Structure 1
Amino acid sequence: MPDDDKLDQPTPKSSLRPVYTVTNIQNKVRVLDGTKVSYAARVNLFTLHARGYKVLHHIDGTPPPPEDDLLYNAWYEINAHVLQWIYGTMSDELLPRILEPDSTSQATWNRVRNIFLNNKGARAASLEHEFNNLKLANLPSFDAYCQRLRELSGSLKDVGADINDHRLVLQLVRGLPKEYDTVAA
Structure 2
Amino acid sequence: MPDYSNKTSSTINIKNVVPLVLDLDRVNYDLWIELFETHCIGFGVDDHLELPFMKPISSDPKDKEVTVDQKEWNKIDSIVKSWIYNTLSQSLLQMILKKKSMTYVIWCDLEDLFCTNKENKAMQLENQLRNIVMGDLSVNDYYTKIKAIADMLDNLGAPIPKRNLVSYTLNGLTQKFKPITTTIQYSKPFSTSMEARSTLVMEEQQLELDHSRQIIPAYSDNSSLPIIILTEDHQQPRNNRFFHNNRCGRGGRGGHDGLGDNLMLSYPLLRSFGICNLDIPTVMFSRT
TM-score using structure 2 length? 0.53
Q: Contact conserved, 1:64 with 1:75, CA < 8 A, in 2?
A: no
| Residue number among 108, 111, 115 corresponding to 2:109 in the alignment | 111
Shift of 1:27: 1.1
Residue 42 of structure 2 is matched in structure 1 by 52
> Counterparts of 2:138 and 2:79 in 1: how far apart (Å)?
40
Larger CA deviation: 71-80 vs 16-25? 16-25
Greater relative contact order structure (CA < 8 Å, 6+ sep): 1
Residue 101 of structure 1 is matched in structure 2 by 99
Q: What CA deviation, in whole Å up to 9, does each residue of 1:61-104 have, x standing for no partner?
A: 24152462331111111111111111111122322111111111
Shift of 1:183: 4.7
Q: Contact conserved, 2:30 with 2:156, CA < 8 A, in 1?
A: no
User: SS of the counterpart of 1:71?
Assistant: helix
Residue 255 of structure 2 is matched in structure 1 by none
Larger CA deviation: 126-135 vs 110-119? 126-135
1:169 partner letter:
V
Q: Contact conserved, 1:135 with 1:175, CA < 8 A, in 2?
A: yes
Residue 175 of structure 1 is matched in structure 2 by 172
2:169 partner letter:
L
Q: What CA deviation, in whole Å up to 9, does each residue of 1:145-176 have, x standing for no partner?
A: 32332232232233332212222222222222
> Counterparts of 2:143 and 2:11 in 1: how far apart (Å)?
34
Q: Contact conserved, 1:25 with 1:89, CA < 8 A, in 2?
A: yes
User: For the structure 1 residues 176 and 19, does the alpha-carbon distance in structure 2 shift closer, same or farther, using more than 3 Å as the test?
Assistant: farther
1:44 partner letter:
E
> Counterparts of 2:25 and 2:117 in 1: how far apart (Å)?
17
Residue 13 of structure 1 is matched in structure 2 by none
User: SS of the counterpart of 1:54?
Assistant: coil
| Residue number among 153, 156, 159 corresponding to 1:159 in the alignment | 156
User: For the structure 1 residues 111 and 145, does the alpha-carbon distance in structure 2 shift closer, same or farther, using more than 3 Å as the test?
Assistant: farther
> Counterparts of 1:176 and 1:17 in 2: how far apart (Å)?
56
Shift of 1:20: 0.5
Q: Contact conserved, 1:117 with 1:158, CA < 8 A, in 2?
A: no
1:99 partner letter:
L
Unmatched runs of 5 consecutive residues or more in structure 1 = 11-15
Larger CA deviation: 128-137 vs 49-58? 128-137
Identity of aligned residues (%): 27
1:50 partner letter:
C
1:33 and 2:23 are equivalent in the alignment: yes
Residue 20 of structure 1 is matched in structure 2 by 9
Unmatched runs of 5 consecutive residues or more in structure 2 = 58-65, 185-288
5 Å-filtered alignment, 1:44-83, equals 44-59=34-49, 61-66=50-55, 68=57, 69=66, 70-83=68-81
Q: Contact conserved, 2:28 with 2:152, CA < 8 A, in 1?
A: yes
Q: Contact conserved, 2:24 with 2:92, CA < 8 A, in 1?
A: no
User: For the structure 1 residues 135 and 71, does the alpha-carbon distance in structure 2 shift closer, same or farther, using more than 3 Å as the test?
Assistant: farther
Q: What CA deviation, in whole Å up to 9, does each residue of 1:46-75 have, x standing for no partner?
A: 11111001111111x241524623311111
Q: Contact conserved, 2:23 with 2:89, CA < 8 A, in 1?
A: yes
Q: Which has the larger radius of gyration?
A: 2
Q: What CA deviation, in whole Å up to 9, does each residue of 1:12-69 have, x standing for no partner?
A: xxxx52420652111111212246572111111111111001111111x241524623
> Counterparts of 2:23 and 2:139 in 1: how far apart (Å)?
22
User: For the structure 1 residues 154 and 64, does the alpha-carbon distance in structure 2 shift closer, same or farther, using more than 3 Å as the test?
Assistant: farther
TM-score using structure 1 length? 0.78
2:167 partner letter:
L
